[in-house]
Structure 1
Amino acid sequence: MNSQVTDQMGFSDRLENYDMFNLMLETFGKMFDDETKVYQKYLGAEFPTWRELVPDASLHFINSIPSIDFPRPSLQKTIAIGGISVDIEKIDELDSGFSKILEKRPKSMLISFGTLAKSSDMPMDFKRNLLEVMRAEPNCTFIWKYESDDVDFARGVENVEFVRWAPQTALLKDSRMTAFLAHGGLGSTNEAAFLGKPTIMIPIFADQSRNSNMLARHGMSIVLHKSDIGNIPTFRNAFKEILHNEKYRLNAEKVSEMVRNQPLNPKEVVVKYVEFVGK
């Protein structure tokens, strides 16, 4: 889960991956043991533990899209339903306010680090570096999801729009949105894949590095370490590449076409397998 490596591993990478796998087994094992104590307190000590329930389950649904995910061994009862939460047809159209923002300049980029890692808590030197990179792209409007109204640090930067909330899927669906800077959460990763938007991923913790590398292996994403925000040349070059190199857009559109045309619809898969087990 916390692995920093891709499927192209040398010996040291494999060793790191092995160590991380065992660390996660231990960490989640302790966490689930604690949860077991809580529910057995109310349901009785005879209620099965998670170590009994997991192998006894008929199915395991996982939030994975096989056509773009890393290759890995899997059990027959492990069913991938990645993208089940992305319903293209039900995404609302942008309201007039956001639509006007997208009309301001030829290119637009959405910047969002999710709900846990708040942009407002970012070190000030990182914020200033972001602004410097924005200044270097005057023909792009940057919509920055920012959790505070205190934005005096950005005074004088005309091509940044601060919003406390953004209709992420509606923005990513819009053809005027050029690229997406995100943290690599699985929700944002799946949305970028389905909606065909090139990304710069700056993973913070947990599965975000894995998710980010998953998109990068398809040529639609540039993955940076969070410390790279402090490296202006690296940071500026990533923005230049994602905004102006057409290969990222073309690869993102190819991934979108692939996941939208999966042979089996994730929602239908859930229904069919649940009905099968029920019968």
Structure 2
Amino acid sequence: MMPRDWKESFMKAFGKFPKTQFFMRYGADDLNELKPENVELMKWLPQVDLLHHPKTKILITHGGYNSLQEAINAATPALAIPLLGDQFKNGRIIERHNLGLMLAKSEINEETIASSIHTLLEDDKFRQSITRMRKMIQKKPITPEQNLIKWTEFLAEFKGLDNLKPAGADLDFITFYNVDVYLTFGGVVFGILFGLFLVTRKVPRIICQKLGLCRGGKDKTKKD
């Protein structure tokens, strides 16, 4: 659930671009009175079709893998606001390769959103970078289909790849499950705890005898 202050920040930021139309996927009705005239709230959007529309300028996304691929395929710069999982990694990819910008959750407010949108709209380097990335993907030397065919033919000819089999595949039970490591660690921990147990039993008795508070200590004092 999006915090109320985030919703207000987005609406106010969108309102600063009256000549730009914003389409936002949103299922609730609590923003109908708050949204500016240039914002359309919809429960579902054909994201791929919108990204490929010639008038689409930017994509505001959480930075999921599919959205990243769709933005690159459409050569549309993105503003990533990651919330969980791989979205943070994808957001850093977007930022590092100038495919767009990234905003952290802690940075979300009216000013940062508006500033990011303005930068993506005005600075053409982001569209140039993402267009270049799309061309690189489209013109890969070997397509996935060709790669699959080549590896299938390779396996059919050599009947296996024993030379590429990792040594870890033949580990014994103890090594594979790190039994020796756990036993060693457990032994060290047990030794430390047992030592502490002995110390806690001996030290109070020694102190007691030194101060003459124990029965044994009193008897010894009388004999002396």
Both proteins in one fold, TM over 0.5: yes
Q: What does residue 216 of structure 1 align with?
A: 95
Letter in 1 for 2:110: I
Q: What does residue 45 of structure 1 align with?
A: none
Query: Structure 1 residues 240 and 263 mapped into 2: Cα distance closer, same or farther (>3 Å)?
Result: same
Structure 1 residue 275, shift from structure 2 partner: 5.7
TM (normalized to structure 2)?
0.64
C-alpha distance in 2, partners of 1:134/1:237? 11
TM (normalized to structure 1)?
0.52
Contact 1:192 1:198 in 2 (8 A): yes
Higher helix share: 2
Letter in 1 for 2:144: P
**Partner secondary structure for residue 142 of structure 2:** coil
Which segments of 5 or more consecutive residues in structure 2 lack a partner in the other structure? 160-224
Q: Which structure is higher in RCO with an 8 Å CA cutoff and minimum separation 6?
A: 1
C-alpha distance in 2, partners of 1:173/1:207? 24
Structure 1 residue 218, shift from structure 2 partner: 1.4
Q: Does 1:130 align with 2:7?
A: no
Contact 1:193 1:259 in 2 (8 A): no
Q: Does 1:233 align with 2:111?
A: yes
Structure 1 residue 193, shift from structure 2 partner: 1.4
Contact 2:25 2:42 in 1 (8 A): yes
Alignment deviations for residues 213-233 of structure 1 (CA, whole Å, 9 cap, x no partner): 11221112101101222x332
Structure 1 residue 274, shift from structure 2 partner: 4.8
C-alpha distance in 2, partners of 1:124/1:168? 25
Query: Structure 1 residues 275 and 208 mapped into 2: Cα distance closer, same or farther (>3 Å)?
Result: farther
Identity of aligned residues (%): 31
CA RMSD of aligned residues (A): 1.9
Contact 2:80 2:94 in 1 (8 A): no
Contact 2:81 2:105 in 1 (8 A): yes
Letter in 2 for 1:170: D
C-alpha distance in 1, partners of 2:93/2:34? 33
Q: Does 1:162 align with 2:162?
A: no
Letter in 2 for 1:256: R
